[in-house]
A and B are shown apart, each in its own frame.
Chain A
Amino acid sequence: MSGVLVVMEARGGAWNRMSFETLAAGQQLAAGLGVAARAAVVGSGVAGLARELAGYKLEKVYAVSHALLGEYTADGFAAAVEALVRRDGADVVLFPHTYQVRDFAPKVATRFGRVLVSDATGFRAEGGLVFVRQLFQGKLNADVRVSGDGPQFASIQAGAFRAESAEAGQAAVEEFAPELAAGTIRQKPEAPFRESARAVDLTAAEIIVSVGRGIKEKENIGVVEELAKALGAEMAASRPICDNGWLPMERQVGSSGQTVAPKVYVAVGISGAIQHLVGMKGSKTIVAINKDANAPIFEVADYGIVGDLFEVVPALVAEVRKVRG
């Protein structure tokens, strides 16, 4: 059966919010290819989620359920999704580009002799199928043409499609219990945990001043802290800064840290890799200060200054102080 199959993600009975963005992408791709869209939810006890999914414009919804899928494992999910794709016969299989998908979807694609076109931001059906994705952490774009008989596999970048644009409708639910044997699952997962209660809640901040690699050395962080102080803002950082221990992990914004949407987000010396952008692009106003005019941070910025942060930031501190008295 031709068509586009969207493999949704849920954990503990709750959807990963990116799933519906991918559902919207799947419906659009199916329309472009003139084929049907179907979707699946994988886990244990997923009947409720499948019923919810059946309220969308889909040809069919699969409830892929097995006791061994209650806890995520790469081996278990790869086997279940492989069996689902073989049964369904889709031309294209789409996943949300989550950490979990990164862990098992390449394995599934390999079993079909295919490549997972990961972190795709768009697609075109022109004489075959072309996916658009970013290279060099967002500095360049690339068109990737997939060839050969289906299925083709791709994962969709966070924020590339709007979840609200997923079309409602009515679909029948089909239960599917893949054959899985406990002995074939080699990963033994323990319960997920958080390092510590978060002392810093960046989500409540009105203004955030965030610092990235451009700061070069720990000793220079003070330059940016001065700006945060002048603006009455919270300090935040991109991942490398926290990796280096220059600011505590709890001040990290991005896919592995906090997601923030303040009134003003000032990105200082942050190039704007997608892992950072997903954590802050919902901010009402974004200011970017970077020496590289081609840095991807300027793609999302409302105001941009191309220049040396060690000159611009102290000048900014002086101007803010003038105004604030």
Chain B
Amino acid sequence: MKIIVAIKQVPVRDSQLKPEAGGRWIEEGDLSFEINEPDAYALEEALQLKEKHGGEVIALCLGPARASQTIREALAKGADRALHVEEEDTAGLDTLGVAALLAEAAKRESPDLILTGLQSDDLGYGQTGVVMAELLGLPHATIIMQVEAGEGKLRVKRELEDGWFQHVEMPLPAVLTIQSGINKLRYATLMGIKKAKTKEIKKLAAADLGGKRASAAVLEKVYAPQRTKQTQMIEGDAKTAAAKLVEKLRFEVRAI
């Protein structure tokens, strides 16, 4: 089974985020980056499918030069090789623009299966996988919690709302977007890290993939949200704050 996993590099969780001076994106200077969490689960699922059925796992990433760090980590965990669509101005691409480049890069590999996370932790549009499937003319399913691969077909478990699930069958090749928590993530081994250094990362430019599409949805301004609720912030050291809160829960909320 030849599996492509589309991964994205995003600022590490808990980063302190500030809009940049022009307000079109965030200040990235002081940030550290990591693999988008749902993509990490998609990668793990691909590795487990390969262990079960054999084949190859190819990491596919669109991002600036710094994304090569995240790609290397995917290789260290067990991906066989990688495709890096190197693009510095990712803010100039909309979801369709990103998916079009990823789809074109994927198409040349004729994969049996394409996996990606259900959404990114930065933009959170939650549709790159679905748009790739549409552009490639492949069936898809989203928010997947289990994958069983059979002869030329897949049976997957989709998460619905409010604790409901559903199994869906579809033919291969197909595209799946993977939900966090579908499996248990592995750590890269020392051996894996060593091996990753010799694995191939093929660099591609947008121009090699049919060029960039003009954006139909432009990120015009990034800003801090306005508080809509009056929150009483309780100050002081832990003990003082705790005492004040208990007082409020007793006399204002009457819950204790």
Contact = CB atoms under 8 A, between A and B. Distances in A.
A, B in one complex: yes
Contact of A135 (B124, B160, B237): B124
Interface of B: 11, 13-14, 16-17, 19, 26, 94-96, 99, 118, 121-127, 130-131, 133-135, 139-143, 158-171, 180-181, 215-225, 227-229, 231-234, 237-239, 241-243, 245-246, 248-250, 253, 255-256
Contacts of B123: 135
B26 A303 contact: no
Contacts of B237: 311
Contact of A136 (B122, B126, B134): B122
Given A118-B125, A307-B238, A302 B232 contact: yes
A317 to B, nearest CB: 8
A144 B256 contact: no
A111 B134 contact: yes
A242 B165 CA distance: 16
B253 to A, nearest CB: 5
A264 B221 CA distance: 36
Interface string A189-228: 1111111001000000011000001000000000000000
Interface of A: 74-75, 78, 98-100, 102-104, 106-107, 109-111, 113-119, 130, 134-148, 186-195, 198, 206-207, 213, 231, 239-240, 242-244, 249, 255-259, 263-264, 284-285, 287-288, 292, 294, 296, 298-308, 311-312, 314-316, 318-320, 322-324
A193 B250 contact: no
Contact of B126 (A118, A143, A194, A292): A118
B241 A307 contact: yes
Contacts of A323: 246, 250, 256
A206 B254 CA distance: 12
A141 B143 contact: no
Given A194-B164, A316-B242, A145 B217 contact: yes
16 contacts: A78-B134, A103-B141, A110-B96, A113-B96, A116-B127, A118-B127, A137-B121, A142-B221, A144-B220, A194-B163, A239-B181, A249-B163, A256-B159, A292-B16, A294-B224, A319-B245
B225 A147 contact: no
A148 B215 CA distance: 9
Nearest to B226: A141
Contacts of A324: 256
Nearest to B128: A106
A316 B236 CA distance: 13
B43 to A, nearest CB: 16
B142 A103 contact: yes
Contact of B228 (A143, A192, A299, A312): A299
Given A75-B139, A231-B256, A316-B242, A304 B234 contact: yes
B197 to A, nearest CB: 31
Nearest to A71: B166
B121 A187 contact: no
- Considering the complex of A and B, which 4 residue pairs feature the smallest CB-CB distances, nearest first? A243-B181, A106-B127, A315-B242, A186-B139
Given A231-B256, A264-B249, A301-B231, 14 more contacts: A106-B95, A110-B135, A135-B124, A140-B222, A145-B218, A147-B215, A187-B139, A189-B166, A242-B181, A243-B180, A255-B161, A299-B229, A308-B238, A314-B238
B225 A296 contact: yes
Contacts of B169: 187-188, 190
B134 A315 contact: no
B130 A303 contact: no
A98 B171 CA distance: 25
Contacts of A264: 249, 253, 255
